[in-house]
Amino acid sequence: MYSKIVILQFPSEVAQKALVCQLTKIFDLMFNILSARISNRKEGFMVLEISSVNRAGFNKGVKFLTDQGVKVSNPEHQIFKDEEICTHCGSCIAVCPTEALYIKRPEMEIIFDKEKCSVCELCILTCPTRAMGLFSKNTQAIA
């Protein structure tokens, strides 16, 4: 299974169309809406996790969206976990909406799966030791 988080920006002329639903119907892709909104200018914005049985199906779905006028991009930031200062308290797993952070049992160790991370930043806000941080792909760590 191939899965990737993407950011979709819909111009006003296509924001009201059910383009994302077509990913399932036409391309047999699955999607999970991580965030969505429509601005006062009627432009749409979505963060999706799109899953496919293979990368080729994913690429066809993304091409369909771009052909419709949707701007598709990757998150500019990534979350990182500093293993040296993490106390494995579990605060982060309580707020993680994608289960990218979870407890490995019986060791009671907090594991971070970057592939599942939606970059919502909730773990950064709740981590008492500041072991969770934000890393820009273009620069050094920023939080």
Q: What is the pLDDT of residue 47?
A: 80
| Mean pLDDT, each 10-residue run in order, the chain (143 residues) | 85 88 93 79 82 91 95 80 93 91 95 85 91 66 40
Q: What is the pLDDT of residue 141?
A: 41
Q: What is the pLDDT of residue 142?
A: 38
Residues 62, 43: Cα–Cα separation, whole Å: 19
Domains, in order of start, for the chain: 2-73 (3.30.70.260), 77-136 (3.30.70.20)
pTM of the model: 0.57
Which run of H or E residues covers position 51? Answer: strand 44-52
CB contact at 8 A, 19 and 65: yes
